[in-house]
Amino acid sequence: MNLDFTPAEEAFREEVRAFVRSRVPPATRTKMLDGRHVSPRDLVEWQQSLHRQGWGAPSWPQEYGGTGWSPVLQYLFEEECAVGGAPVQLPFGLKMVAPVIMTFGTTAQKQRFLPRIISGQDWWCQGYSEPGAGSDLASLKTRAEKQGDHFVVNGQKTWITLAQYADWIFCLVRTDPAAKPQAGISFLLIDMKSPGVTVRPIITMDGRHEVNEVWFDDVRVPIENLVGEENRGWTYAKFLLGHERTNIAGVGGSKRELARLKRIATLERKNGAPLIDDPCFAAKVAEVEIELMALAITTLRMLAAEARANIGAEASLLKIKGSEIQQSLAELLMQAVGPYALPLQLDAFERGDAEAITGPAYAPPLGAHHCKTRKTSIYGGSNEIQRSIVARTLLGM
List, by residue number, the catalytic residues.
244
Number of other residues whose CB lies within 10 A of the CB of residue 78: 22
Per-position DSSP letters for 311-336, written without gaps between them: --THHHHHHHHHHHHHHHHHHHHHHH
CA gap 386, 378 in Å, rounded: 10
d(CA 157, CA 142): 8
- d(CA 78, CA 205) in angstroms, rounded, equals 29
Residues 320/298, Cβ–Cβ less than 8 Å = no
The half-sphere exposure of 297 on its side-chain side, counting CA atoms within 13 A, is 10
Q: Does residue 145 contact residue 218 with C-beta atoms inside 8 Å?
A: no
Alpha-carbon distance 284 to 261, whole Å? 11
Other Cβ atoms closer than 10 A to 31: 19
Between the alpha carbon of residue 123 and those of residues 155, 227, 359, the distances in Å are 22, 18, 38
Query: In angstroms, rounded to a whole number, what is the distance separating the alpha carbons of residues 325 and 298?
Result: 14
Q: Which of 207, 142, 216 is nearest to 174 (CA)?
A: 142
